[in-house]
A and B are shown apart, each in its own frame.
Chain A
Amino acid sequence: MNHDARKKPARTQRLLVLGAVILALLAVNVAVPRRRERPQLSARTLKDLAELATVEYSVTKIVSYKDVAWYGDRKILFETAATVKAGIDLNELTDHDIQLQDGKAVTVTLPRPKILLFNMKPEHMREIFNESGILRSDFSNEEKDGLLSQGEKDIRAKVARMDILERAARNARILVESWLKKMGFATVRVAFKGGRT
């Protein structure tokens, strides 16, 4: 009985000490600021271009992610769309690439086509499905941007493997030929640097 009576204040004392520690730690938690580095912003700049876009591909992709864990799953599904433009960089055109023969015939050697622009507009994206288990946090905005960035990377890689550059070259040839004929050249030959495209 006496032993129990001595133990009770000791337990209460320990609880009081723990309470004091909690209060002190709470104060530390409030005082420690969240680590945030200020964003580094570069200057706004205008830059000259001389690019001729000759083809535009509109593509779609479903971005899907499943996060399976023993304490619950999270699943999300987006519908995304992108436009990709390809063509030639006229800055790469030099004096040697245009050869005139008696003012009526011309041979133009164009630079090889490349992808000039990739655009994933927010208005063309849609969240189709989003579900998180009760023990799981919801997908944050940052996570969603990260998943869409992966989708963007995948679209870029897959579009580059499509026939976009061949089409861009074909259209550039047709366009330049028609312009030069409108300018009065009777014979027009269009080639590409580094051989056939």
Chain B
Amino acid sequence: MKKLLSVLNIAALLAILLLLYNPLARIGLLPSLPALFRGGTAHIEETPVIIQQVKNIAQMFTQTYYDEYVYDTGVVRTPVFSQNKRLIFIAKGEVIAGFDLSELNEKSIIRREKSIVVKLPPARILDVVINPSGFETFIEEGEITFEESKKFHEDARRIFERNARDKGILKNSAEQGRETLEKFFRLLGFETVDIIIPESR
């Protein structure tokens, strides 16, 4: 009995220490317990960067759309005995629109003395960029696998593209492309410049 009481006393004191530590960690005065077990700052090992492909391209970027988006997966229910999952992260990135000028051919440029007609392909989304440094985890509950997190990140990229389209990125891109090329051709001495751009879908 005496031994049991001593053990209970020690357990109670440990519990008090833990309960005193936790609120201080929660308000940010002390590191969280999981952080203590994770160790110090992580540094990746030195590995090479290998070139897989080099491609000659001719893309004109004429519009960029910056976005920041809070992505909330909502509570993902899991089977009994495992913790429900939830991930909230902030995604920061950009959508680039413009023209693929490699689609231009002999018939795309018509010159008559001091006037020129250029037929461009329609403006399109060329890239959606959210790099790893653009993701910031805000709330993470339950065990979220890398594959699941990848799916959420891909979904965020789709949302960026949709938002950019809604904001009129393609229309602006076409206008800016027309303006840039007009300026360029006028610098080349052309007096009449006609840039034909089909409407983007």
Contact = CB atoms under 8 A, between A and B. Distances in A.
A42 B68 contact: yes
A195 to B, nearest CB: 22
Interface string B45-72: 1011111111111111111111111100
B82 interface: no
Contacts of A192: none
Interface string B156-199: 01000001100111001000100010001001110000000000
A81 B52 contact: yes
User: Interface majority SS on B: helix, strand, loop or mixed?
Assistant: mixed
Nearest to A45: B66
Nearest to B157: A122
Contact of B26 (A33, A85, A137, A162): A33
B78 interface: no
A32 B27 CA distance: 8
Given A29-B19, A81-B52, A53 B176 contact: no
A144 B146 contact: yes
A175 B49 CA distance: 28
User: Interface majority SS on A: helix, strand, loop or mixed?
Assistant: mixed
A121 to B, nearest CB: 8
Given A98-B188, A127-B146, A148 B132 contact: yes
A98 B183 CA distance: 12
Interface residues of B, number: 92
Nearest to B95: A46
Contact of A18 (B12, B20, B61, B131): B12
A7 B102 CA distance: 92
Contacts of A143: 38, 42
A194 interface: no
B137 interface: yes
Given A56-B55, A57-B54, A93 B187 contact: yes
Contacts of A147: 42, 44
A179 B104 CA distance: 10
9 contacts: A44-B68, A44-B167, A52-B101, A56-B53, A59-B49, A59-B52, A64-B47, A71-B37, A142-B140
Given A39-B136, A65-B44, A154-B47, 7 more contacts: A11-B9, A44-B67, A46-B64, A46-B172, A49-B63, A51-B60, A52-B58
